[in-house]
Structure 1
């Protein structure tokens, strides 16, 4: 099994594209160093609405990716040929999935219960993500994946190197390439895993506060531990 973080960012800020382009080589170096220290085999760089190719480094495979801001939420496109740039809010979920498939990439529904209505879209996603910022929603995500009959993957959504690998994906593949990752996702040869290391729990509390203040969290009709009866009951 290969351990891959399918959702990471090379910078801790959004916008300011020129500054970001200058910082990204530093960011990917820090991400891969942390990934190597935590025993990951690879990570996908999925910056918001743009893709920059990076070479493998620090014994970690750097996979091509992009996080597309669709009209209804965020979609990760991971694979050999992601789009170089997308306009925020311009593509519908269905158009985004079609774009991914046309480029031989996988389309992953990212953080479906944060600032997103994508779970209501019949768009043909390849997988659903358990997001490292708030894995306590994992029961909701698992039920959603069951309803959609889709596999689960994990991604840290790291914007800072310390966050790398806090959620990642175990991939059943003999080699780690963009093509093998896409094939494994589509075949369901993947498993989402979450690291409950104490510093990660502390960071997640901070994110919950920030996103809660912004009104980005949503609760589905089903309930989970802490909010009522767990889905399985």
Structure 2
């Protein structure tokens, strides 16, 4: 059984591709170091609209190739051994993103379905749906969506800073290879987890307020509460 954070970024800024190219190897190394300290077996690298092969930063640590595609209706996380290397923000529809993922033998996951997204309203055949570490209040609704669609739930922190990694992650019954992880997600051999502790709770409250001020939360659930802390 592996513990993997399936939604992470190697940098905390958007755009500035030249700077990203220089920074990514260092961001990857820092991300891996924090993840290992928190007991994770690996992460999926899912930078916005590009994938860059970086290899494994630490011995015995798994880096799953991936990309977070900014579609016309929200974000889609694509994971596998051969994700697309570049997409254009807002160019692909969700259906086109899923087709692109499947053509490359990858899985397509609905990312943060209640933040700046209407993808949950489509009937496209996604492989899984994400419990995002920034918005645990929406987890009960995400679970309902997964049950309605008959697809698995996975967890990811959506970390842009290395210290955020692992606040949500996935327990997955797979071998430590991208191909095995993809197959396990398709077959539902996964279970999302949320990190506990005061620091993790403080981060989640902070991000909730930030995204509410930005108007990015399409639906908030203040009366539902949060999933149990582990």
TM above 0.5: yes
User: Aligned-pair distance for 1:104?
Assistant: 0.3
User: Are the equivalent residues in 1 in contact too, given 2:137–2:224 (CA < 8 A)?
Assistant: no
Q: Give the structure 1 partner of residue 67 of structure 2.
A: 66
Aligned equivalents of 1:106 and 1:13: distance in 2?
A: 25
Aligned equivalents of 1:33 and 1:85: distance in 2?
A: 26
The secondary structure found in structure 2 opposite 1:226 is coil
Is 1:176 paired with 2:176?
yes
Aligned equivalents of 2:224 and 2:196: distance in 1?
A: 20
User: Aligned-pair distance for 1:204?
Assistant: 1.5
Q: Give the structure 1 partner of residue 143 of structure 2.
A: 142
The secondary structure found in structure 2 opposite 1:64 is strand
The secondary structure found in structure 2 opposite 1:157 is coil
Aligned length: 224
TM-score (norm 1): 0.93
Q: Give the structure 1 partner of residue 164 of structure 2.
A: 163
User: Are the equivalent residues in 2 in contact too, given 1:94–1:122 (CA < 8 A)?
Assistant: no
Q: Give the structure 1 partner of residue 153 of structure 2.
A: 152
TM-score (norm 2): 0.94
The unaligned stretches of length 5 or more in structure 2 are 226-230
User: Are the equivalent residues in 2 in contact too, given 1:133–1:207 (CA < 8 A)?
Assistant: yes
The unaligned stretches of length 5 or more in structure 1 are 229-233
Q: Give the structure 1 partner of residue 228 of structure 2.
A: none
- Where in structure 1 do 4 or more consecutive aligned residues deviate above 2 Å? none
Superposition CA RMSD, Å = 1.3
Superposition pairs of residues 5-20 of structure 1, within 5 angstroms: 5-20=5-20
Any idea what the Cα deviations from partners look like across 1:137-187, whole Å, max 9, x if unmatched?
Answer: 1001000111111100000000011110110011112x2111001100000
